[in-house]
Structure 1
């Protein structure tokens, strides 16, 4: 039976449409600018990288900002991308956390406009683990990585909002 955990991040001064675009259509470009210390590679292997069924390859900086030193590259498939509901879900396929003890995982990001230019991000992780795994350490590592990723994107978008003329360029 699968377990589920979630956390929320309130993104001040980040409009839902900008955050949605940063997590979907512009994810490769935004991640390179928002978290250069996190990824070494993010590639679209199948599909357009946005739509259902798209397969994405991710490789982290060894001993980088939030990724564990032992985290191998991995593949995830987009299994839900609903622009109306602002819901995005990725299913772990192989490598990465699948090699560290997860037998199944599904990561979902749900965005909600909470007014005054703020967006609430609800991130959920539905998972199954192998037996005899240090559950707390593995979950903490995965959730910290998700928090770092989302936090980096939010900070980058806030910077653009406060300084649209920045060298980083606009969306």
Structure 2
């Protein structure tokens, strides 16, 4: 079984500003700092933020789904502002998912606005279909991350405006 969940959120910053957060390793640092109720720890295992980078994400105790997983950056398209990661160890793979991919895509909406689209794509073994709702939980977590990022980016935008 395969499936996909998507979430979109308008941001009040240019796409280039949003991409500086979503398209880089900074998003991991951001969620660890700003969302400790979701992620207990985000660790750089390998790489420098480019394709091939591996992060280990450890969820906060009591968070639905896996305790941790490692994800690999499989695509970073700076021109089209698309970043994809895939789970390569632990977590979702242990729950019967054969593919668990997360994509962030940032598009320009206007001069000072953009849209971040978060996507979860998955493939699940037939004998693990009961775990399909976990993918829905994941998109809700990504929606929460996008909302928190919007607040963070707006706060920084206001702080950087001339008086």
Aligned to 1:45: 45
Q: Return the structure number with greater helix share.
A: 2
CA distance in 1, matches of 2:69, 2:143: 18
3-state DSSP of counterpart to 2:126: coil
Q: Can you list the C-alpha shifts for 1:82-135, whole angstroms capped at 9, x where unaligned?
A: 111111000111112222232211111110010041111122222101224225
* Number of equivalences: 159
CA distance in 2, matches of 1:159, 1:73: 30
What is the aligned-residue RMSD (CA, Å)? 2.1
Higher deviation after alignment, 137-146 or 75-84? 137-146
Q: Which runs of 5+ in 1 are unaligned?
A: 166-171
Aligned to 1:7: 7
Q: TM-score, normalised by structure 1?
A: 0.82
Using a 3 Å threshold, how does the CA distance of structure 1 residues 102 and 51 change in structure 2: closer, same or farther? same
Q: Which runs of 5+ in 2 are unaligned?
A: none
CA distance in 2, matches of 1:3, 1:22: 27
Aligned to 1:168: none
Aligned to 2:87: 92
CA distance in 2, matches of 1:41, 1:25: 14
CA distance in 1, matches of 2:98, 2:33: 32
